[in-house]
Amino acid sequence: MEDKRGPIEVYAEFDPGLRELWQNVDDVARELRELVAVEPTGKPIQIILFRDQGSYLRYLASSIPQARKRRAIFYRNGDVFQVYAYRSRTLTTDLRHEVTHAILHQHLPFLPLWIDEGLAEYLEEPESLRSGSSRTRTARWKARVGWSPSIKSLESIPSAESMNADEYTDSWAMTCMLLNESDASRQALRDYLAMIHKGEAPGPFSKFQKTVESEVFSRSNSYFRKTLIRVSSNSSRP
């Protein structure tokens, strides 16, 4: 099965439900634009979906060895940005995650790993499900027993291959907080990515953020302790 919308092409060994697939792709692109002013550049994005894990691994095992440990993967092939995944109960989540990577890497020449993974983790959940998701409930519980994400620890992660589950969680949490804690915290992230988009090197976000609002990191625990955590792409707040 093949389908195409503008520069985005879908190739699938099964019927993935194209209406829902395109809706999720559109939602991810819309939220990246609204949240952090990141947009696709118009270069090709290919979404390649396999009927099962065996088919996926046979195709990718030699060309993209890291796919062996992943249900889905983003891969840049020259000017073509590719998303590979296989049919599973988590396909929608996997697709949203990897499409986020594809759009980020089109728009930005580079970005810190924790922001790359944090945004992908954040956007893999549809907006309507975030505030009540198990991930948000777990973060609220952990915060009540003293947990908070550490920006310095996140900035020291050497590679995606070395990231563990806790580091993925903390990347999501830090990104979630910056996007939703205050207008200033979201704007700081937008400004940081805008500098990268222009080809500038803003340095670690922890140092960049100090020039904007030095107290935001100290409020991470209190943010996640709240009974209701705002996790919306809507830029307006009460």
The answer to whether 28 and 39 have CB atoms below 8 angstroms apart is: no
The two three-digit tokens of residue 187, written as one number: 């704007």
Give per-residue pLDDT as tens, 10-21: 999 999 999 999
pLDDT of residue 171: 95
Instruction: Report pLDDT for 228.
Output: 61
Please choose, from the candidates 65, 126, 49, the residue with its C-alpha nearest in 3D space to the C-alpha of residue 93.
126
Tell me which H or E stretch contains 84: strand 80-86
pLDDT of residue 133: 87
Q: What pLDDT is stored for residue 41 in this prediction?
A: 93
pLDDT at 164: 92
> Which portions of the chain are predicted below pLDDT 50?
235-238
Distance CA 70, CA 84 (A): 10
Determine the topology of domain 2-107 in CATH.
Glutaredoxin (3.40.30)
The per-residue pLDDT for 238 is 37
What is the domain partition of the chain in residue ranges? 2-107, 113-225
pLDDT of residue 209: 67
